[in-house]
Structure 1
Amino acid sequence: MSIQSVYIHIPFCQQICHYCDFTKFFYDEQSATKYIEALSNEINVQVSGEKNYVNTIYIGGGTPTALNHNQLEALLKLVNQKFDVANCKEFTIEANPGDFDEAKAKLLKDYGVNRVSLGVQVFDDVMLQELGRVHRVADVYKTVDLLNQQHLANISIDLIYSLPNQTAAQFERTVTEALSFQLPHYSSYSLQIEPKTMFYNRYKKGQLHRPAQEEEVQMYEILKSKMNENGLVQYEISNFAKPGFESNHNLTYWNNDYYYGFGAGASGYLPGKRTQNIRPLPAYIKQAMVDGNPVLKVESIGLKERIEEELFLGLRKLSGVSKKQFKAKFGFSHEKLYEQKIKALVQKGWLVDGEETIYLTDQGVLFGNEVFENFLLDEQDLKQVN
């Protein structure tokens, strides 16, 4: 199978959010210019030729739009040189509300970006400040208007729920305001307290009040109900779209297909291996400039790992795992490994064993991690299919 997608990581932010554990650094012009040069060298070394066809391109962060106009243009020129943007199904860039002016929005349009993912998080100025966000609610309106002026209407909004001191009623107001934009795609994730973040330090000191689990479940039910009322179909645990506007790039991950990962801390999935790039900025820049191969570690992906990931990732989709596609990929039926485990999960009410797919029930979605544990294999299991 060919490599389907490209992920490019831009690690710069104007401000570090209190919950974020992605590879990120405060933006400064000189470091960002050096980074773009290093990134260019990595991509040129790893991908031969020009105008290579891929299905999707995704520039994430950090905050890619924290780059100044010249740096952003250099990045977009590089992407257009190496990849066939004109025939790429989906070219997404992440952005923060308020990062745009008219010139930057036009730049995206001119270089073939056709989808923008906005990190809104919550429609509440007080909560935005408590999260360490730079933007305010008014900036969302201005940014969506700027993008629409450039006919960049394929916009997704990201929301976070179960925020400190957030109530279900407050989250419902956020969802309602987000839906008032009538956008084609929305993502919403429960807040995770990750190590090495400001929120984690507060949590360890008992200074961070999280909503109770029952209230978090209530927020998720509100999310699903509101999206459904507005004609947005839940196609993955945390993602909702108008038909035809599902994120093709994220489907690359959930379908367990191959993708390049470029930039500091970026992960890639290539035939037989997963790669993880160096995270620290100076170390990444130095190695990428030396040999274009700033890889920190390589993990071999054998048959066992491929099968496990096919189930873990595929079951995140509400359509589930295709039995036919599983057999086409691996040459045998999933039942050889999982028949009894699937029956047990069906009896629990967590899984549906359909004619063409296996997929999570509503209750199964809430207990996703416990469901996924059932699909771990040991080497003895694989002897059944050899």
Structure 2
Amino acid sequence: MTLVNKQVSSLYVHIPFCASKCYYCDFNSYVSTSDVMDRYLDGLDRELELVAASYQHEPLQTVFFGGGTPTIFDARQSERMMQMLHRHFRMADGVEISVESNPGTVDLDKLHVLKDGGVNRLSFGVQSFDNDLLVKLGRLHDRDAVYRSWELARQAGFDSINLDLMFGLPGQTVETLQSTLKALIELGPEHVSAYSLKVEEGTPFYTWYERGKLILPPEEDEVQMYQLVMDTFRSNGYEMYEISNYAKPGHRSRHNQVYWRNEPYLAAGSGAHGYVGGVRYINQKDVPQYIETTVGGKRPVVDTEEITEVMQREDTMILGLRLLEGVTFARFREKHGTEMLDVFAGPIAKYRERGLLTVDDVGVRLTPEGIFLANEVYAAFLGDE
């Protein structure tokens, strides 16, 4: 069956391999061998072909290779990955192609292959510049690896680089975070994603937390850390455009804005989630099963969910309020054919009165106070209809 949605112009590709599993990570990632990675690429090649044939879509405006660690592939595998993309999909002029990476997993050959294949945005999972904290997180890289990988990326010609940062880490203080922020600002990345640690079920951190062996900073320190992060980036030429993301002018993540605006996107790779034509789909997580299914010429979709209009409206609010610009009345009307205030007058009025939402002629957005209680605000838009 062909699903028609000509507005689809974004693609997520999941590469599930890592050199090791970090203690906090609940993503779909595995430690594996080069021959398994080659077989995975066999399957991914076939799946990309099937995905491209299954939907009418526009030339791609954004592509995101996530993981896992896509740069765990060697130069030959990386080149193959990029060739597959271009074989099965047309790219729009000015397409944004992002690749996630970990410090220490890149070399010049690999970076040149990615650049030649059209990649114009790199995202390094730095997390911290504190070597002791990196060990506590189960990261394989150290501070020096960050600098080496950064220099190689610049040498290869990448001029749009994101660095991922985490705070609220075990043993972290406001002062140690300040040191990391200083080091990061000195590098001068074009974009930063800064997230508070979430202890996810099924991770070593969760087990240790349940046993009382993972001591996290007190809540008041974490609030102070978040404020420090916001103040530091704003005062150094970065625009905070989403509750965890900061960009220099012209360097917002276009792909991630597709998610936050509740727009459709294609997806491929084990465990990947796509959203097209009002239907969400999920691929097989298990890598051997994924390979067997895709090499056999079938799509690896194991679950689909039709997203009702009620759910779509909720998603538009919950995801859109992550953006500092919020959700405009015009966009809500255009997307859903109804007025936002006719649907969500209750929660909007409640949180406006509490000082957590701003409402003006343009739309609705979080206030500076609302940013700190964002999850509470989002929850108010669930099941309101």
TM category, shorter: over 0.9
RMSD of Structure 2 on Structure 1 (CA) = 1.5
Asked if the contact 2:52/2:88 (under 8 Å) is kept, the reply is yes
The amino acid across from 1:66 in the alignment is I
Q: Is the contact between residue 224 and residue 234 of structure 1 (CA under 8 Å) also seen in structure 2?
A: yes
Structure 1 stretch displaced more, 245-254 or 269-278? 269-278
What SS does structure 1 have at the residue aligned with 2:302? Answer: strand
Task: Give the 4+ runs in structure 1 shifted more than 3 A.
Answer: 49-52
- Aligned position for 1:46: 51
1:341 is displaced (CA, Å) by 2.3
- Equivalent positions of 1:140-289 (< 5 A) are 140-289=146-295
Q: Is the 8 A contact 1:85 1:91 kept in 2?
A: no
Match of 2:95? 89
**SS at structure 2 position matched to 1:47:** helix
Query: In 2, Cα distance between the equivalents of 1:172 and 1:45?
Result: 48
The 5 Å alignment of 1:115-130 reads: 115-130=121-136
Amino acid at match of 1:20: C
Counterpart contact for 2:47–2:294, Cα < 8 Å: yes
Partner of 1:6: 11
Map 1:361-372 → 2, pairs under 5 A: 361-372=367-378
1:55 Cα shift? 1.0
Question: Aligned to 2:82, which of 76, 85, 92?
Answer: 76
Paired residue for 2:115? Answer: 109
Q: Distance in 1 between matches of 2:151 and 2:381?
A: 45
- Counterpart of 1:37? 42
When structure 1 is superposed on structure 2, of 287-296 and 14-23 the one drifting more is 287-296
Paired with 2:35 and 2:157, the residues of 1 have a C-alpha distance of 32
The alignment covers a number of residue pairs equal to 379
Measure, in 1, the Cα distance between the counterparts of 2:190 and 2:120: 13
Give 2:73's aligned residue.
67
Q: Distance in 2 between matches of 1:191 and 1:335?
A: 34
Offset at 1:54?
1.1
Partner of 2:358: 352
Counterpart-to-counterpart distance in 1, 2:13 and 2:51: 13
Asked whether the 8 Å contact 1:55–1:90 carries over to 2, the reply is yes
1:89 alignment partner, SS class: strand
Give the SS at the match of 2:187: coil
Amino acid at match of 2:377: V
Unaligned runs of 5+ in 2: none
Residue 56 (1) aligns with residue 62 (2)? yes
**How many angstroms does 1:86 deviate by?**
6.3
C-alpha contact (below 8 Å) 2:191/2:246 kept by paired residues? yes
Q: Is the CA contact 1:51–1:83 (under 8 Å) kept in the aligned structure 2?
A: no
Q: Report the secondary structure of 1:180's partner residue.
A: helix
Q: What is the alpha-carbon distance in structure 2 between the residues aligned to residue 135 and residue 376 of structure 1?
A: 40
Letter in 2 for 1:256: N
Corresponding letter in the other structure for 2:29: K
Q: In structure 1, which of residues 5, 11, 18 is the aligned counterpart of residue 23 of structure 2?
A: 18
Distance 1:374 1:217 in 2: 22
Hey, what does 2:334 align to over in structure 1? Answer: 328
SS in 2 for 1:42: helix
- What's the counterpart of residue 384 of structure 1? none
d(CA) in 2 for partners of 1:293, 1:84? 20
User: What TM-score, normalized by structure 2, do the two folds share?
Assistant: 0.96
- Structure 1 27/162 Cα, relative in aligned 2: closer, same or farther at 3 Å? same
Amino acid at match of 1:4: S
1:73-93: CA deviation from partner (whole Å, max 9, x where unpaired): 111110121223462521000
Contact in 2 for aligned 1:11/1:61 (Cα 8 Å): yes
Q: Which moved more, 1:213-222 or 1:283-292?
A: 283-292
Q: TM-score, normalised by structure 1?
A: 0.95
**Counterparts of 1:274 and 1:177 in 2: how far apart (Å)?**
40
Cα deviations across residues 280-334 of structure 1 (Å, max 9, x unaligned)? Answer: 1111111122233101210111101110000000000000001101111111111
1:251 and 1:106 map into 2 onto residues whose CA distance is 27
Instruction: Name the structure 2 match of 1:319.
Output: 325
- Matched-pair identity in %: 36
> C-alpha displacement at 1:354, in angstroms?
1.6
